Amino acid sequence: MTRASLPAVTCPHCSGRTTIRTSSPVSPLTREVRYRCENDECGHVFAADLSIIRTLVPSARPNPAIKLSLANQNLVGARKRPANDDERTPANDDVPDVAQVQNMIPDPG
């Protein structure tokens, strides 16, 4: 993993930019990343864990030693229907409601 591919993190104390100093593997699913605040008045140095937490799309070459939960099935792969394929009646539908229809029926009396 290169430094450029690790996520940017702001300093938890001064919200300044940080620089990745080093990173090292902790396990196949976790890396420890060490950051240094670029604000000279702060200079905070801290460690953060970068962890793989779940699978979004299963691997074509899975490692049997790695056990990750699969993300919500609605998010994985192609959707069963388009996201905008909504079955609700639109708010601007011109179909009259029941009260309007009843008012249109002539009174038999």
Give me the number of domains the chain comprises: 1
Q: pLDDT, tens digit, for every residue of 47-76? A: 999 999 999 999 999 999 999 998 875 554
- 66: tokens are 């790695």
Domain ranges, residue 24: 7-53
Q: Which of 10, 15, 16, 13 is nearest to 39 (CA)?
A: 16
Q: pLDDT, tens digit, for every residue of 81-102? A: 555 666 666 666 666 666 666 6
Whether 25 is covered by a domain: the verdict is yes
Max distance between CA atoms of the chain, in angstroms, equals 90
